[in-house]
Amino acid sequence: MKWIIGLVCLLLIVGVLAAWVVGMYNGLVTARNGYKNAFAQIDVQLTRRHDLIPNLVETAKGYMAHERGTLEAVVQARNGAIAAQAAASANPGDPTAMQGLSGAEGILTQSLGRLFALAESYPDLKASQNMMQLSEELTSTENKVAFARQAYNDSVMTYNNKRETFPSSVVAGAFGFTSAALLELENPDARQAPQVSF
């Protein structure tokens, strides 16, 4: 009879311990899925940003025929940003992918800034309705990217805190939950959206 009571107590302890581990594991999975979902929002906004740029370049091309180098730099930076975005989308939270995305987006922001600065010397381009609309959409998208990046970074912080605090850290280590990287802008000058004044 005593061994049955002992067995029941042991099974209860094992059951409680198993429920605790499952709860910790599920919390970590939920937090990881949260930052991946937050990155998906960044992905949507970056895709929108990248899709606006060819139209912007085409609009500027007609007015800035002899500024080919600037236009090509924007196109090249866009292509680099798209490639970095694809790598980051494949593995959100990966430190290398996040650093690559950050660097590529910084280069794109700088080249867009140069394009807008150069466009200031073309009054007809500044007055173009298409250019004004594209510039407004790009500025709006830049703001949405900033908000989505903040939401992503908040989700990553929540996940990393959960992963690193005891007792979740025991479960995280046992099941291979790795640290997620924040998405930070590499260039401090790129921390602001390009100034557009058309």
pTM: 0.80
**Token pair for 112:** 């867009």
pLDDT (tens digit per residue) in 136-192: 999 899 999 999 999 999 999 999 999 999 989 999 999 999 999 999 875 545 445
Residue 107 covered by a domain: yes
Q: How many structural domains are present in the chain?
A: 1
Residue 16 covered by a domain: no
Residue 9 covered by a domain: no
**16-20, 44-48, 107-111, 128-132: least confidently modelled range:** 128-132
Torsion angle, CA of 133/126/191/74, rounded to 10 degrees? 90
- 56: CATH: 1.20.1440.20
Q: Domain residues for 131?
A: 24-191
